[in-house]
Amino acid sequence: MSFSYDVKEELSRQPSESCCQKAELAALVQMAGTIRIVGGEKKVLLQVQTVHPPTARRVYRLFRKNFPSPIQIAVKRNSFLKDKRLYIITIDTKYCKSLLEELGIIPQKESIELNKAIMNQNLIKKDCCKRSFLRGAFLGGGSISNPKGPYHMEFVTQDEDMAKTLIKIIDYFGLKSNVVERKTSYMIYLKDGDHISDILGLMGAHNSLLKYEDVRVLKDMRNSVNRIVNCETANLNKTIDASVRQIASINYFKENNLFDKLPEKLRQIAELRLEYPDLSLKELGQMMDPVLGKSGVSYRLKKIEDLASKLQSTKGELSNVSTKRNR
């Protein structure tokens, strides 16, 4: 199962107060509900659809506790969802029209379009109800990516007012979200790992939060180790490259019988470099007597490189002149 599935399974088991149940149910229906008119008598039905069994059970229980009306559950396979089971909870709105109006699920006028409903702000006055509203929204139209990959949590709704309500609630808790408007829906999403953790805690998914943080800690540790290793590797490569250049310059003096003409301080550091080609500048300096700082070692070795370069350049010019004369 996916991490998102596990989060929803945990949320569907959360206990809640009566006021919170209505807030959660309002969000669930706004995110996953549709109103259908069937039959010649134009019977109005409210349906909530989900592929998540624990969410279906949650919706059923919330309706049973808050609406004294017949509830039907149907299960069918949907080819558009790779033959996953689709759970459809159906309730006849004539038994609970006033309560649906109270929740803001249908408006208090003749229109029966869900997205024309006005959200009942009294449902989300309390902080506990705001958290329950987020929980219902996530169960009805939310998802979260596996923390092993890029951090991402989203809520998808077709209702602009619902999108605005979600953004306000997330902002109320001091968290940052973004919204993308699509052709027929709005996606409210979070990318910050800390903020996603906070949302999980607010909704009551505490076990999922601990798992999420465990993965984040391991992931951050790996990233830190990789950065350190990359940095160490880069520094080591620089040390090796510099050592190769320095040894080549020192050998130039030896091969041309010029080594003894170098000043004693340069000869001393040159001998150490030849003997210990893998040591860093700092380590070479500590072997000097007296001890020499890193900058001092660097200066002397750079001096040897510069002198060798000048001699090689001069020798090349003399060789060119000699060649021209012979012609």
The confidence score (pLDDT) of residue 107 equals: 57
User: Measured between alpha carbons, how far is 188 from 31 in angstroms, rounded to an integer?
Assistant: 12
Element containing residue 84 per DSSP (H, E):
strand 84-92
Give the DSSP per-residue string, 92-152. EGGGTHHHHHHHTSS-SSS---GGGPPP-GGGGSSHHHHHHHHHHHHHHHEEE--TTSS--
Q: What is the pLDDT of residue 40?
A: 64
> For residues 103 and 25, is the Cβ–Cβ distance under 8 A?
yes
More confidently predicted of 85 and 143: 143
- What is residue 66's DSSP assignment? H
Position 83 confidence tier, pLDDT thresholds 50, 70, 90: low
| Phi, psi (rounded to 5 degrees) for 176 | -105, 125
In tens, the pLDDT along 266-293 reads 999 999 999 998 888 889 999 988 899 9
Percent of the chain with pLDDT over 70: 87
In the sheet where 33-38 sits, what is the strand order? 33-38, 43-50, 84-92, 71-78
Instruction: Check residue 318 and give its pLDDT.
Output: 44
Count of CB atoms situated within 10 Å of the CB of 282: 13
DSSP code of residue 40: T
Domains of the chain: 3-204 (3.10.28.10), 226-326 (no CATH)
- Degrees to nearest 5, angle at CA 14 with 8 and 20: 110
Number of Cβ within 10 Å of residue 289's Cβ equals: 6
Please give the Cα distance from 91 to 69 (Å, whole number): 7
